[in-house]
Amino acid sequence: MTMPNQMGGGAMRRLPVYLMLDCSGSMSGAPIVAVNEGLELLWRELNSDSMTRETAYISLIRFASTAAQDPLMAVDQFSPQMLSAGGSTAMGAAFNLLAASIQSDLTPTTQTQRGDYRPLVFLLTDGEPTDEWRSAVQKLKALRGSQRPTIVALGCGDGVNANMLREVTENVYLMHNVSADALRAFFQLISGSIVSASQAAGGAGGGQVDMPSPTNIPGVIKYDL
């Protein structure tokens, strides 16, 4: 039996997706160019699938010396902006934006209503926070039920603090030798994950989907303590 893909009152249940992208100075040059190309690829692929256009909502959180967020919006309204790199790495501020958006922008599932699907978060960084981050991560870990996000983190290069990322999520992957092709492949994986989750939203899986492993990308390994 197919589960309804609507909340009370006929509103469509959304699949929230957050892209957390490091735009600090160390991302200058080829890495930020590849990120922009990856965003363009993701935009094209998400808009090519009708179920994804109907279900997925995207928010871009970019962080450098400060963090900024684009509002959660439907895929067909999302238009990737050209990102530039410079400054430090305010990742803690970005986590605060993420936690606040999940709490304020998402409709929770309760005993009396079916809310939005569990959010997907994709974090890409080539460094470590230059601001306080643990309190923001604790806010994320305090989220429960359908509001608790599934976070996939990709650390690029030798400047990544993998232990820090492991405090955020169990899904930590490392790309020691950063290449434009590998970064674009990561965005290809993101788009495939979103499309798969969107297509599962109307089925018995209730919007849940097994996340494909970035280790399928050459040079990417899973980080385990």
Nearest 5 degrees, angle CA 8-CA 12-CA 17?
125
In-domain check, residue 40: yes
pLDDT exceeds 80 at position 181:
yes
The pLDDT value recorded for residue 139 is: 97
What would the pLDDT profile of 55-92 be if each residue is shown by its tens digit? 999 999 999 999 999 999 999 999 998 999 999 999 99
154 DSSP β-pair partners: 124, 173
Let me know: does 193 contact 120? Beta carbons within 8 Å. Answer: yes
- Full residue range of the structural domain in which residue 56 is found: 24-72+83-222
Confidence of residue 204 (pLDDT cuts 50, 70, 90): very low
In-domain check, residue 78: no
In-domain check, residue 209: yes
- Distance from C-alpha of 26 to C-alpha of 200, rounded to nearest angstrom: 37
Tell me what the mean pLDDT of segment 167-182 comes to.
94
CATH of the domain at 174: 3.40.50.410
In-domain check, residue 2: no
In-domain check, residue 15: no
Token output for 160: 């990544």
In-domain check, residue 144: yes
The pLDDT value recorded for residue 186 is: 95
Q: Who has greater pLDDT, 1 or 182?
A: 182
Name the least confident of 12-16, 37-41, 212-216, 219-223.
212-216
pLDDT exceeds 90 at position 3:
no
What would the pLDDT profile of 209-224 be if each residue is shown by its tens digit? 566 789 889 999 999 8
149 DSSP β-pair partners: none
Specify the number of domains making up the chain.
1
What would the pLDDT profile of 107-148 be if each residue is shown by its tens digit? 988 888 889 999 999 999 999 999 999 999 999 999 998 899
In-domain check, residue 13: no
In-domain check, residue 206: yes
User: For 6, phi and psi rounded to 5 degrees?
Assistant: -135, 155
The pLDDT value recorded for residue 210 is: 61
